[in-house]
Amino acid sequence: MGEIHLTGHPASPGLAIGPVAVLTSAVASRAMRGDPAQEATALKAAIEGAAVELAELIATVHGEAAEILEFQVAMLGDDALAEGAYEAVAAGTAADEAWRAALDEEIAGYRAADEEYFRARAADLVDIRDRVLAGLNGADAIAKISGDSVVMGDEISPSTFLAVDWTRGGAIALAAGSPSSHVAMLARSRGAPMVVGLGPLPWNGQPPSLALVDGDTGTVIIDPKPETRRLFEHRMAAANAARIAADAGRLKPALTADGRRIAVLLNVAAPEDLAGLDPAICDGIGLVRTEFLFEGSRGLPGEDAQYAVYRRILEWAAGRPVTIRTLDAGGDKPIAGLTIDGERNPFLGLRGIRLSLARPEVFRVQLRALCRAAVHGTLKVMLPMIAIPAELDRANAMLDAEFAALKADGIACARPPLGIMVEVPAAALCAEDFGAAFYSIGSNDLTQYTMAAARDIGAVADLNDAGHPAVLALIARTVEAGRKRGVEVSLCGDAAADTRLTNALLARGLTALSVSPIAVARLKATIAGVTV
């Protein structure tokens, strides 16, 4: 097979070279096939093996990821799942064919469901199906994907992703997929290059042996010529050297080439993200997402539980400012017991601050926990999805009331300043009208609402461009409003970590960018090359 160039969408930056591991279990078919009794035994062993693999995987993850896997274990442990397969095996069908047919029927049932929640579970059944098939086929078993491989396939499930040790230099190249999928987010946070939307993978039967993945441009080269490979390795070496240089500059403050100081802040999804991190790499925390507190089966978190987590984060920051966002549920972040199920268009529905104001009994608990935590550092609180000033005013009044109530009870507390996220175009256009203590631009939602293109729909991914002049104009307008009102403006969406946009963002007058910890070194190095 000659060298083939494929073009898709970049989903996670970086370069990688490695042997190809194909995800579709259809590629490998079973070498041997026994009589019905042997086939039934093989199927039973594969199912039990899959359950053991899952149990091992559960031990390495926590929260939502663990619960997804626990559901899979429960399904695998239920004889009803394989009933049809065993009947077919008894009638002479091979174990893998029987299992695939039985699970495909089950999956079809889920895909036909009215409710999105049931349809979404089809992915778990596919995960279960393929894990058992991998065990039966004895090849390309999920757990056996080596961490230095280029994993190729139509899609990759979160459980497959989590089973691979990505510190060894591997990458992901998908025929389908989306830069906004859960796996793409995981890939970015673990530093694994990823390209999606490559289209049908161009081989029949015999997969390629080697692939080059360029997660910066969204290209993949399979079976490269020696010369192509040499050039790519050269680029990797240069990128590596740049990364090492950037890492060395990680602890230094970010300065542009013309000496302007830029604050580099961290985005944190859970306190575990801060484990092992030196606070000196950042100027503070620009975004603490609080959704993680509300996930899982434990129900809505109480005031003390929230307070303990917020306090831990503030203490880690050691006096640096920490901006905690109040619950941003709804849209693509449903939370059991809180968000509205079956909204026709959840991104335009009851999400973010709208939901918090609609459920004051939940919101109050969070505001109280925040007031109590505020005594342990420099806390700022921001409200997501603000569209009109009245929403901020109502939240301010509630915060005042909770602060006063805590004080009246003699409980240690402070009233944190309340700022807004600018992610609805209306808020960007009228930013000056808000009595906000600060503005934080949420570029992901601002982009999708401005371009009317969803983040998670591959077919319109090209339109979802944070660098579009319309989005940049809204950012500039927000910066200008902050300048006039004398309050700080920062940006905390994915655009902050996209170094192709750094120049454009700083040119719009932004002086604070908030990114995931892994992106800090690269961003600081990029800032050092910018002349505003």
Choosing from 182, 371, 376, 413, the catalytic residue is: 182
Specify the residue, 298 or 500, whose C-beta has the smaller distance to other proteins: 298
Nearest distance in Å: CB 336, other proteins: 4
Among positions 56, 87, 115, 165, the unique one binding other proteins when judged by CB under 8 A: 115
Amino acid at 331: G
Does 409 help bind other proteins (rule: CB under 8 A)?
no
Which of 227/361 has CB closer to other proteins?
361
Distance CA 458, CA 471 (A): 20
- Please name the residues in contact with 267: beta carbons below 8 A apart, sequence gap of 6 or more: 285, 286, 287, 289, 492, 514, 515, 516
**By the 8 A CB rule, do 508 and 475 touch?**
yes
Q: Are 454 and 464 in contact (CB under 8 A)?
A: yes
Instruction: By CB under 8 A, name the one of 114, 227, 258, 361 that touches other proteins.
Output: 114
Using the minimum distance from each CB to other proteins, give the nearer residue, 334 or 416: 334
337 lies in the binding site for other proteins (CB under 8 A): yes
Angstrom distance (rounded) from CA 416 to CA 371? 7
With CA atoms as reference, report the closest residue to 192 among 222, 162, 221.
162
Stretch touching other proteins by CB under 8 A, among 71-79, 271-279, 357-365, 386-394: 71-79
What part of residues 272-291 is at the interface with other proteins (CB under 8 A)?
none
CA distance 399 to 407: 12
CA dihedral 172, 178, 179, 181 (to 10 degrees): -90
C-alpha 258/C-alpha 268 separation (Å) is 30
Q: Which stretch of DSSP H or E encloses residue 21?
A: strand 15-22
CB of 115 to other proteins, least distance (A): 5
182 is known as an active-site residue: yes
Q: Which is nearer to other proteins, 68 or 171 (CB)?
A: 68
Closer by beta carbon to other proteins, 361 or else 409: 361
Residue 19 in 3-state DSSP?
A: strand
Report how many residues bind other proteins under the rule CB under 8 A.
31
| Residue 74 touching other proteins (CB under 8 A) | yes
Q: Is 127 in the site for other proteins (CB under 8 A)?
A: no
Least CB distance to other proteins at residue 45 (A): 20
138 CB burial (10 A radius; 0-12, 13-18, 19+): middle
> Does the footprint of other proteins cover residue 341 (CB under 8 A)?
yes
117 vs 462, which CB is nearer to other proteins? 117
Determine, following the binding rule CB under 8 A, whether residue 297 of this chain makes contact with other proteins. Answer: yes
SS3 383: strand
The answer to whether 118 contacts other proteins (rule: CB under 8 A) is: yes
With CB under 8 A as the contact rule, the residue among 3, 67, 291, 433 that binds other proteins is 67
Choosing from 225, 298, 483, 500, the residue that interacts with other proteins (CB under 8 A) is 298
Judged by CB under 8 A, the chain residues 440 through 499 that form the site for other proteins are none
The DSSP symbol for 340 reads P
What token pair was written down for 509?
């007058």
Residue 17 CA to residue 235 CA, distance in Å, equals 11
**123/430 with CB nearer other proteins:** 123
Q: Which is nearer to other proteins, 68 or 515 (CB)?
A: 68
Q: Report the residue from 100, 121, 188, 250 that binds other proteins according to the rule CB under 8 A.
A: 121
Contact flag: residue 338 with other proteins (CB under 8 A): yes
Binders of other proteins in range 79-98 (CB under 8 A)? 79-81
d(CA 162, CA 177): 17
Taking CA atoms, 18 is separated from 62, 183, 208, 224, 232, in Å, by 29, 20, 11, 11, 12
Q: Is 100 in the site for other proteins (CB under 8 A)?
A: no
71 lies in the binding site for other proteins (CB under 8 A): yes
Pick between residue 60 and residue 118 the one whose CB is nearest to other proteins.
Answer: 118
Tokens of 107: 């999956």
Active site residue 376: no
**Contact with other proteins (CB under 8 A) among 97, 106, 130, 140:** 106
Q: How far is CA 475 from the centre of its chain?
A: 23
Binding segment (CB under 8 A) for other proteins, from list 283-291, 313-321, 330-338, 393-401: 330-338
Active-site option among 282, 371, 413, 492: 492
CB of 38 to other proteins, least distance (A): 23
Site string for other proteins, 25-64 (x = CB under 8 A): ----------------------------------------
Q: How far is CA 267 from CA 186, 219, 285, 301, 322, in A?
A: 14, 28, 6, 21, 10
Q: How far apart are CA 152 and CA 203, in angstroms?
A: 12
3-state secondary structure 426-446: HHHHCHHHCCCCEEEECHHHH
Catalytic residue numbers?
182, 492
Residue ranges binding other proteins (CB under 8 A): 67-68, 70-71, 74-75, 78-81, 106, 109-110, 113-115, 117-118, 121, 124, 297-299, 334, 336-342
